[in-house]
Amino acid sequence: MSADPPPRRRFPAQWDAPGRPKAAGTSRDPLRPQRLLHQAAQDAARAVAPTGLGLDNGAVRERMVARLRAEGIRHPALLAAFAAVPRHRFVDSALAAQAYEDTSLPIGLGQTISKPSVVARQLQWLFDAPAAGRRGNLGRVLEIGTGCGYQTALLARLATRVISIERLQPLHELARRNLDATGVPGVRLVYGDGRLGHGPNAPYDSIVAAAGGEAVPEAWLQQLAPGGRLVAPTAMPGLSGHALVVVDRTADGFVRQIGESVAFVPLKSGLG
């Protein structure tokens, strides 16, 4: 009876992909090019996360609009603007999944993009002005604090002209990129001190501020057109944050109303 042949020696296998063994001790990986291509595709998908998450689908914005409508936002043009402007295009791609939640988000340099509900309430106050009701739009608008440009893009759909001023140059440049990328026309961006307003294009039918101060600056009041309305977050006694202050310029002077309490970044002077 002959002896069985000795068992054939086998090298241990290493597994670097499902179902594909690779001999131990070898340096060549035949699947490396495919894996690199796959990784590159994943990296590219992450770089364009907003579209990858389906946020360019208008249904996502429509849900936000339905929430605003349920909270009392009623002007059709205002709701249409929120439905049209892609908020996720104005925030960092890492935060895009939160773009249509009712929350403020950081945009850098200690600044934020305001909650959709707060932006909507400010703009609705502007639309409630008697002159705006007669015109059907916000007329010539001065925006104090461009930020990332989201509110600017909304205003561009609601006004005849928008002048937006930003004191922080990196944000001024960010807003320009965002507005160019989303194709927003009819907007003039100014790098300057928002507390001073922007005299060269005054007077304004509507003025809206995205930062809160101790009082409404005198320059804003003087640049407000007769019949115009200003909405700005302002510090109030007994409040830890701000309240929306609404100022109408009438033939007899300035008439003020106090709206709801809100939280905004502080209004500052100078350039940065």
Any idea which residues carry the catalytic annotation? 114
Between CA 162 and CA 35 the distance in angstroms is: 49
Q: On the CB side of 71, how many CA atoms lie within 13 Å of its CA?
A: 15
Between CA 107 and CA 143 the distance in angstroms is: 17
The sign of the CA dihedral 38, 43, 48, 50 is positive
Return the biggest CA–CA distance within the chain: 123
Q: What's the gap between Cα 6 and its chain centre?
A: 73
> Following DSSP, what letter does each residue of 73-130 receive, concatenated?
---HHHHHHHHHS-GGGGS-GGGGGGTTSSS-EEEETTEEEPPHHHHHHHHHHHHTSH
Between CA 156 and CA 158 the distance in angstroms is: 6
Strands 140-144 and 111-113: unpaired
Beta bridge partners of 191: 166
